[in-house]
Amino acid sequence: MATWRDTPFTRRLGIELPIVQGPFGGGLSSAALAAVVSEGGGLGSYGAHVLSGTEIRALVAELRALTSRPFNINLWVPLPGERELSLSAAEFAAESERLRPLRESLGVPPPVSPGEGPGAFVAQDFDAQLEAVIEARPPVASFVFGPPPAAAIAEMKRRGIVTIGTATTVDEAVALEAAGMDLIVATGSDAGGHRVSFLRRAEESLVGTFSLVPQVADAVRVPVIAAGGIADGRGVVAALALGASAVQIGTAFLACHESNACEAHKAALTGPEARRTALTRAFTGRLARGLRNRAMVELEAAGEAAPYPARAWFMSPLNQAARAAGRAEAMALWAGQAASLARRRPAAECLAALVSEVEASR
Ligand SMILES: Cc1cc2nc3c(=O)[nH]c(=O)nc-3n(C[C@H](O)[C@H](O)[C@H](O)COP(=O)(O)O)c2cc1C
């Protein structure tokens, strides 16, 4: 039965399947993964949060060369105070000390302070990223941690870029619609990666996908994309039944060959430890869901993390070292609660399985 493909989402984008491959920040996206999913009729995404404006322009050109179908570029909107965050020398030393055991176990030298001025820990300039997205004009641009500035939304509309906002609560979905976003991702607390709340603290905005999606679908008129815990055809069918126009799948695509997750991360996603995820601020200073491994337990025991982006800045070389050494117990293993359903396979196979499972269930 093919009618499940015909939704306000697929009509808006002119694509075949109501399936979005979720963007991955932290360097885990790949152009190959996004292109395979777009070529297969879904919407491939690339998490460009870690890229400079120049890198974003090159990425959009690369994706255009790989696929003639719509694709999505994702950015993180800075939350209030984030760009200004600065640590005193004493705070810097305390944070460094909390991370010392993990740092030493990875053979990483102690960090050198970037200074106490505002912006010291900010990796990329959001305004430059946004300008690059507007100029490069990808078919779709998605945002987390709130809507981008009103002038940017107006400019993206003028240039024909479809915009997607991301909500963790009904109130956030209503705010994103009011800001003019074309489509809204409703991301339940089951999802892998960061909780992207922007109206209240993430800890006060934890709503599961099954509860969130129908309430958001009732509260807004724009098409809703369900995210969090969807990893096979049953999840797609359920999300559409709850009022979603499409699904956004992260963890199941992260395990696929084309994603930029490392070997140790993919092995953990498909091993027995995938049944145990938890939300933590330990890796970046922001609440995020990953497998509860040794690093998560030990970092939490070491005390409260410095706020984002400082903790993320401190952890970046440690994560790189853990990745290079293939040490799954020492890195952030981002994963959603449905991780056990993920399989290691080519992304085209994952997409084809989703389609055939949905069609077999109808
Ligand atoms: C490793 C990882 C990184 C992520 N980074 C981003 C990101 O930068 N931007 C974003 O909008 N969503 C990000 N997400 C969320 C996914 O795009 C998707 O919405 C989520 O994974 C869906 O839940 P699931 O993992 O249960 O499928 C990330 C998820 C993971 C697992």
Mean pLDDT, residues 95-124: 94
Query: Distance, CA 192 to ligand 1 centroid (Å)?
Result: 5
Tokens at 358, concatenated: 């949905």
Write out pLDDT tens, residues 118-166.
889 998 999 999 999 999 999 999 999 999 999 999 999 999 999 999 9
Architecture of domain 3-360: Alpha-Beta Barrel (3.20)
Query: Distance, CA 248 to ligand 1 centroid (Å)?
Result: 9
Buried b (16+ CB within 10 A) or exposed e, 335-344: bbbbbbbbee
What is the model's pLDDT at position 2?
Answer: 60
What is the model's pLDDT at position 244?
Answer: 98
What is the model's pLDDT at position 46?
Answer: 99
Q: Is there a contact between 150 and 180 (Cβ–Cβ < 8 Å)?
A: yes
Domain coordinates of the chain in residue numbers?
Answer: 3-360
What is the model's pLDDT at position 299?
Answer: 98
What is the model's pLDDT at position 344?
Answer: 98
Terminal-residue alpha carbon distance, the chain = 7
Write out pLDDT tens, residues 278-336.
999 999 999 999 999 999 999 999 999 999 999 999 999 999 999 999 999 999 999 99
Phi/psi of residue 236, nearest 5 degrees: -65, -45
CB of 145 shorter than 6 A to ligand 1: no
Write out pLDDT tens, residues 154-206.
999 999 999 999 999 999 999 999 999 999 999 999 999 999 999 999 999 99
To 10 degrees, what angle do helices 126-136 and 150-158 make?
10
Phi/psi of residue 203, nearest 5 degrees: -65, -25
CB of 248 shorter than 6 A to ligand 1: yes
Query: Distance, CA 270 to ligand 1 centroid (Å)?
Result: 17
Radius of gyration of the chain (CA): 19
Q: Is the pLDDT of residue 1 over 60?
A: no
Q: Is the pLDDT of residue 250 over 90?
A: yes
Q: How confident is the model at residue 97 (pLDDT cuts 50, 70, 90)?
A: very high
Tokens at 331, concatenated: 């890195």
